[in-house]
Amino acid sequence: MRIACLGGGPAGLYSAISIKLRNAAHDVTVFERNRPDDTFGWGVVFSNETFDNITANDPASAQAIREHFAYWDDIAVNYRGERIVSTGHGFCGIARKTLLLLLQERARELGANLRFQNEIASAEALAKEYELVIAADGLNSKTRSEFAQIFKPAIDLRKNKFVWLGTQQKFDDAFTFIFEETEHGWVWAHAYQFDSDTATFIVECSEATWRKFGFAAMNQEKSCRTCERIFAKYLGGHRLMSNATHLRGSAWLNFPRVLCETWSHENIVLMGDAAATAHFSVGSGTKLAMESAISMADYLVSERTLEAAFAKYEDARRTEVLRLQSAARNSLEWFEDVERYLHLDPVQFNYSLLTRSQRISHENLRLRDRNWLEGAEAWFQRLAGAEDNKVRRPMFAPFQLRDMRLKNRIVVSPMAQYKAVDGCPTDWHLVHYGERAKGGAGLVCIEMTCVSPEGRITPGCTGMYAPEHERAWKRIVDFVHAETDAKICCQLGHSGAKGSTQLGWEEMDAPLKSGNWPVMAPSPIAWSERNQRARAMDRADMDRVRDQFVASAEMAARAGFDMLEIHCAHGYLLSSFITPLTNLRADEYGGSLENRMRYPLEIFHAVREVWPAEKPISVRISANDWVGAEGIEPRDAVEISRLLQEAGVDICDVSAGQTSIQARPVYGRMFQTPFSDRIRNETGIATMAVGNIYDPDHVNSILMAGRADLVCLARPHLANPYWTLHAAAKLGDRGEAWPPPYYAGRDQLYRLSGGGEPALSAV
């Protein structure tokens, strides 16, 4: 077959090699517009894993590449005058130019034709001459533009500015990050050695900082001199160099995130950066290019037609590309938002940086560098005021809010049981909450408990509006306090327009089949077409509901609850004041966010007056309506939290959604945690994260990275009331107290957990 590789970068050259290796009879030509040795850029990095794949494909070129590798195991982070080093990361680097020269040599040796200084004007013309065209023409692929209608590329130009420089200063002991605060804002560098005397030095900053420096108007020379001044204390007098002669101006770029809907057209197939890009901060562009080349070469052998080979190639590679792009997106967003984290202690900042792509978990970091992680865990425990001098996971650190001290960071998230009788909790609730309190969580939050009969969601919802409710709750609270060391929080709410609906396991949010009661809300709208239209609340209604919240809070205080949570999320009454989707009021309670927050804050202030001063109050919010700019977006949630913080709310329980039937949530592991992260780190209020958090590793990484103070688990606690004790056993932590009657079960579980980890070690 006559095959053209359009582009002599890693994708084009490695395709030529991989194809020739499998079938030397193929006639393969690589077209490259540049000269053989005239490459822009400096070094590239590979992880050990990538290198295994390359070695399996072609041991000869792998060996040649290996001989030129610079290796390092450490990552060093320079930040606020400290240099924190962690190890076990296993990377290697090579000059891009050396890599390309070695690949050229190997391709030639295998009989490929290499045609340099040969710019291809149109892939279509090439496709007429050759049976197969591998379009590996890089980030700004002309082929991709030529067939844009078919490939349908989505190109997302990211916010930060970066420039790819080199230096002869040595960074040979670690992959080095440097964060420098300048008069114009923060600027940072990603630096790594790639041969004996040169290192890559990528400089990055926000667009605002870049503008203030005036980089846009500088030539490359001046831009390098300016960067040298910024990083002078790390450069030891060495210069920063640019070799981006192909770029005009100062050579600063915005990273384009590229993904195409399809990768092939007739006999043309996209590969490498032309098909999809992964941000340089996860160092995987070259890996993607070379692994895709292997895959395509394999399918050319195994499949009988080009069409089938393309289909298989796309199928196999797209998942891998999307996986990497998702990690790369997390990583690039971390750098885009880095100024949010620049108040963090260097230990936490370092952890946040290392786990930014979410590919490296807490326990994976322990495998890489146990000492470093244990140092970070000890730091976390010290900061949390842990009494014993032990290294423990962050989830087992205490937490203090006002006078309430939690033994650990796990919260049983509020979950309606729909088992109340006329608002009164029953023995079901005693057993249900009693079990969860015995199960080891530091805090058990009871379900949304309603301040009036008409404020209930369903006829099965619990209330706090009658003396028998107070008595029944007191019995539960007393049990929790007498028999466990968990704390218990009362969530108070009013259903608003989502009231008078069926039990959770019937048809959720649908009106009752009979016996509906009238509902009210900020504005006269219905939750859905099927639900009744709510009556718009007037001032008298607002006063009455406020007084009901106050009366319920007084009852909760008498019942002995340790904490109160006001439910301002999920589309219920107070939430429906906050979101513009359901608050259409023209008075001072509608319109601006400040106005929409007025009533929930009135309730908070009134409740705070009667709630014991030594006990905390939380507010649960929906940080995202998931409908785009029409509704609450995470940036609005930051403003909401700021108002809560100013009002004296102790902690914000950051949930999301359930405020509109139009919502289109993007689910995933820990999917709401970014909202908690943003709120906590932009306002400084304590937060609870919730939503699809189910593994101890999730919890530990959220806490250690400072993305929340407490972590709520809902469904995992339905499946296993003893989630915390089981997690501790699995992790080899023996520091969580079990109820004495269960000691035999505890000891067996410890034994069965294998004791892979020793009991707690002293620092």
Ligand X SMILES: Cc1cc2nc3c(=O)[nH]c(=O)nc-3n(C[C@H](O)[C@H](O)[C@H](O)COP(=O)(O)OP(=O)(O)OC[C@H]3O[C@@H](n4cnc5c(N)ncnc54)[C@H](O)[C@@H]3O)c2cc1C
Residues annotated as part of the active site: 572
SS3 assignment, position 44: strand
* Shorter beta-carbon distance to ligand FMN: residue 285 or 716: 716
Please report, to the nearest 10 degrees, the dihedral formed by the alpha carbons of residues 470, 473, 477, 479 taken in order: 120
Query: Does 34 participate in binding ligand X (rule CB under 6 A)?
Result: yes
Query: What amino acid occupies position 200?
Result: T
Asked whether the beta carbons of 488 and 498 are under 8 A apart, the reply is no
Query: Does 665 participate in binding ligand FMN (rule CB under 6 A)?
Result: no
Of 581, 585, 590, 573, the closest CA to residue 661 belongs to 581
Cα–Cα distance measured from residue 558 to residue 492, given in angstroms and rounded to the nearest whole number: 15
Q: How far is the CB of 16 from ligand X (least distance, A)?
A: 11
Q: Which two tokens stand for residue 733?
A: 């932590």
- The piece of 270-278, 602-610, 614-622, 666-674 that touches ligand X (CB under 6 A) is 270-278
Helix (H) or strand (E) holding 622: strand 617-622
Candidates 410, 574, 689, 713: give the one binding ligand FMN (CB under 6 A): 713
Q: How far is the CB of 667 from ligand FMN (least distance, A)?
A: 9
* Shorter beta-carbon distance to ligand X: residue 193 or 500: 193
721 touches which of ligand X, ligand FMN, none (CB within 5 to 8 A by kind)? none
Q: How many CA atoms lie within 13 A of 251 on its CB side?
A: 22
* Shorter beta-carbon distance to ligand FMN: residue 416 or 597: 416
489 touches which of ligand FMN, ligand X, none (CB within 5 to 8 A by kind)? none
* Shorter beta-carbon distance to ligand FMN: residue 246 or 715: 715
Site map (CB under 6 A) of ligand FMN, residues 469-508, x = contact: ----------------------x------------x----
679 touches which of ligand X, ligand FMN, none (CB within 5 to 8 A by kind)? none
* Shorter beta-carbon distance to ligand FMN: residue 264 or 495: 495
Q: Is residue 422 exposed (0-12), middle (13-18) or buried (19+ Cβ within 10 Å)?
A: exposed
SS3 assignment, position 27: strand
11 touches which of ligand X, ligand FMN, none (CB within 5 to 8 A by kind)? ligand X
Subset of residues 559 to 598 that bind ligand FMN, contact rule: CB under 6 A: 567, 569
Q: How far is the CB of 424 from ligand FMN (least distance, A)?
A: 16
Query: Does 129 participate in binding ligand X (rule CB under 6 A)?
Result: no
CB crowding 253-288: b at 16 or more within 10 Å, else e? bebebbbbebbbbebbbbbbbbbbbbbbbbbbbbbb
How would you classify the pairing of strands 449-450 and 175-182?
A: unpaired
Q: Write down the number of H helices and E strands in the chain.
A: 27, 31
Subset of residues 280 to 299 that bind ligand X, contact rule: CB under 6 A: 280, 283-287, 289
* Shorter beta-carbon distance to ligand FMN: residue 138 or 414: 414
* Shorter beta-carbon distance to ligand FMN: residue 163 or 688: 688
Q: Is residue 610 exposed (0-12), middle (13-18) or buried (19+ Cβ within 10 Å)?
A: middle
Q: How far is the CB of 209 from ligand X (least distance, A)?
A: 18
Asked whether the beta carbons of 279 and 333 are under 8 A apart, the reply is no
705 touches which of ligand X, ligand FMN, none (CB within 5 to 8 A by kind)? none
* Shorter beta-carbon distance to ligand X: residue 119 or 506: 119
Query: Does 690 participate in binding ligand FMN (rule CB under 6 A)?
Result: yes
Chain centroid to CA 704: how far? 14
Q: How far is the CB of 44 from ligand X (least distance, A)?
A: 4
Q: How far is the CB of 382 from ligand FMN (least distance, A)?
A: 29
Please report, to the nearest 10 degrees, the dihedral formed by the alpha carbons of residues 565, 570, 574, 579 taken in order: 130
* Shorter beta-carbon distance to ligand X: residue 106 or 615: 106
* Shorter beta-carbon distance to ligand X: residue 41 or 185: 41
Subset of residues 513 to 542 that bind ligand FMN, contact rule: CB under 6 A: none
Site map (CB under 6 A) of ligand X, residues 554-573, x = contact: --------------------
Query: Does 634 participate in binding ligand FMN (rule CB under 6 A)?
Result: no
Site map (CB under 6 A) of ligand FMN, residues 257-286, x = contact: ------------------------------
Query: Does 720 participate in binding ligand FMN (rule CB under 6 A)?
Result: no
**DSSP category for residue 239:** P
Query: Does 447 participate in binding ligand FMN (rule CB under 6 A)?
Result: yes
Q: How far is the CB of 552 from ligand FMN (least distance, A)?
A: 15
Cα–Cα distance measured from residue 192 to residue 174, given in angstroms and rounded to the nearest whole number: 7
How far is CA 351 from each of CA 481, 613, 694, rounded to the nearest angstrom? Answer: 36, 35, 21
Count of chain residues binding ligand FMN (CB under 6 A): 20
Of 530, 503, 404, 484, the closest CA to residue 721 belongs to 484
- The piece of 136-144, 333-341, 437-445, 644-652 that touches ligand X (CB under 6 A) is 136-144
Helix (H) or strand (E) holding 307: helix 306-336
Count of chain residues binding ligand X (CB under 6 A): 33
Candidates 65, 411, 416, 644: give the one binding ligand FMN (CB under 6 A): 416
DSSP-assigned states of every residue in 366-428: HHH-HHHHHHHHHHHHHHHT-SS-B---GGGS-EEETTEEESSSEEE--------BTTB--HH
Asked whether the beta carbons of 611 and 564 are under 8 A apart, the reply is yes
Query: Does 160 participate in binding ligand FMN (rule CB under 6 A)?
Result: no
**DSSP category for residue 506:** S
Cα–Cα distance measured from residue 57 to residue 499, given in angstroms and rounded to the nearest whole number: 62
Contact footprint for ligand X (CB under 6 A) = 6-12, 31-34, 41, 44-45, 119-120, 136-139, 142, 164, 202, 272-274, 280, 283-287, 289
Contact footprint for ligand FMN (CB under 6 A) = 413-416, 447-448, 491, 504, 567, 569, 620, 655, 690-693, 713-716
